[in-house]
Amino acid sequence: MVIERTPPVAIDTPCIGVCVMEPDGLCRGCARTIDEIVGWGQMTPDRRRAIMATLSDRRP
């Protein structure tokens, strides 16, 4: 019996290459905090999804 596993789906970065930190602590391009940007590569897919779900609410 062969059990096939689907590899986890990678969550792409929301970075759009406009990397400027605003006074409110959010990146102008992606609306993430510096801690979120720095830690993105080590985050679980679930944590990345949770952050992605909040980004649209961070900017007017």
User: Over the stretch 22-42, which tens digit does the pLDDT of each residue have?
Assistant: 999 999 999 999 999 999 999
Q: What pLDDT shows up at residue 57?
A: 95
Q: Which amino acid is at 57?
A: D
Read off the pLDDT of each residue in 46-59 and give the average, rounded to a whole number: 95
> Is residue 33 classed as helix, strand or coil in its secondary structure?
strand
pTM to 2 decimal places: 0.80
Q: What pLDDT shows up at residue 8?
A: 63
Greater pLDDT, 2 or 15: 15
Element (H, E) at 53: helix 45-55
A 10 A CB-CB count for 56 gives 8
> Is residue 34 classed as helix, strand or coil in its secondary structure?
helix
Is the pLDDT at 7 greater than 80? The verdict is no
